[in-house]
Structure 1
Amino acid sequence: MSTQQLAKASQIIAPYITSWSAEQDLPYRLMERPGLGIGYADESFGDRDAKGVLWQRAAVRHGVGKPEFGKVHPLRQRRAMRQLLCQVCAGPADRNDDGVLWLLRDYRSDWPGWPNGMGCNEPPVCMPCVAISLRLCPALRRGAVAIRARKFDVAGVRGALYRAGAAQEASLAYDDPDVRWLVASALIRKLHCCTFVPLAELTEGR
């Protein structure tokens, strides 16, 4: 590992988008708004994004308590996806002429041409954090690929879709009329013009 990589590994306790134990979900009461979907009873301006979608409330106390691996903080995920920040260190994601760098579970068997056209809720990564992620993330150790995408439009949101008093996980486009019944917890970008990058090329000397 390089000196830069060692320094970064010593600083990162948990990925930037990981929730911490002190970041409990904030209390809320959902209510139906006739003709408009759902909203919080005490809703404020910051509860919705620029497209009017309601977002999950969560305390922001990054680094306080213990990291809750596997639980993603909705506001940091949204920030990382919107600004194309590395999901591990929150620095700028790596970008070159072939596009922005993503590190994903390997699902190439899902369809020909994967991941072109895939809705992705995992933020991109920077080059130095690839080796760290491959070494420490259990999911990626089961099979990972690196890709660069030249197109990555914001496409929608994932969250809890409320119907008849019950909620189920759903991913919806921003122009889906049902999105007014959803409490979002993740921003989705749709990946296009993707090329695979050999992992060895990204981790050599790191």
Structure 2
Amino acid sequence: MTLPAPWSAVVPYVTARRGEEPEVAAMLGLRPDGGGLCYLDEGPDDRDDQGVLWARCSQSRDDGWPVGSPRWGLVHPSRQRETMQGLRCQVCIVSPASRTASGYLFLATRPRDATPPDWPEGVLTWQPPLCLDCAATAVERCPHLLKHGAVAIRARVPRLYGVVGTLYTTGADLRPVPVVVSDEAKDVPLPYKDHLLRPWFLASQLVRELRGVSVVDLEREIATARL
């Protein structure tokens, strides 16, 4: 019997690596008009299409691919944004996300509290989609999915919703300082439509709202694809 390789042998493209460090505090400043955040040496790639500033983080790469020991549970801001924006597989990135008439493929786990009756319609996710092959690997080997149970869903309309990150305000020295929030509020996404807080937000993950959702039988889809 051939056992599957451990998940550690398959490090998703979006996973942060040791040696990759944030480049934030010393470079953050206030816009000249005082109306939000900026980088003191800001470039055109530091903001997304909605004008939100993104966290900088170094990258360790060899021939274009991330290298170094994985920091499981953490994602690299730029690589998460890249895959979520382009709807490419978060594991291998060389493949676009699997797409059928039912929509793009995402993996999720059911909420720990009471599941809303229409779940997963309208669910917010910052987990990028996957190609079919990598989804098969993930459900077989990813410890988080094995523990909590993977639900394969397809979304016809994975609309851009907003970002997860850190909200800032003006400190006593007229420099930006993070707003202290509760643990429950740390991962609450900021919707792009929030024009008041958007200029003061430093994004680290892109969030999509999944609409036109259906739960699918991943094993059946994989078996059909392999025929």
Shorter-chain TM-score tier: 0.7 to 0.9
Residue equivalent to 2:29: 31
Equivalent runs, 1:1-206 vs 2, <5 Å? 13-27=10-24, 28-33=26-31, 34-62=33-61, 63-90=66-93, 91-107=95-111, 109-141=114-146, 142-163=148-169, 165-167=177-179, 168=181, 169=186, 170-176=188-194, 177-204=196-223
CA drift at 1:30? 2.1
Distance in 2, matches of 1:76 and 1:60, equals 9
Amino acid at match of 1:15: P
Distance in 2, matches of 1:9 and 1:79, equals 26
CA drift at 1:204? 4.2
For residues 45-88 of structure 1, the C-alpha deviation after alignment (integer angstroms, 9 at most, x for no partner) is 22111221100001122432211111101111111111111111
SS of alignment partner, residue 52 of structure 1: coil
CA drift at 1:36? 2.2
Distance in 1, matches of 2:127 and 2:27, equals 28
For residues 14-37 of structure 1, the C-alpha deviation after alignment (integer angstroms, 9 at most, x for no partner) is 001001113211253322334521
Give 5+ residue unaligned stretches, structure 2: 171-176
Greater mean deviation of Cα atoms: 63-72 or 87-96: 63-72
- Output the TM-score relative to the length of structure 2: 0.79
Query: If each structure's strand is expressed as a fraction of its own residues, which one has the higher value?
Result: 1
Larger Rg: 2
Amino acid at match of 2:158: F
Q: Is the 8 A contact 2:6 2:141 kept in 1?
A: no
How many aligned positions are there? 201
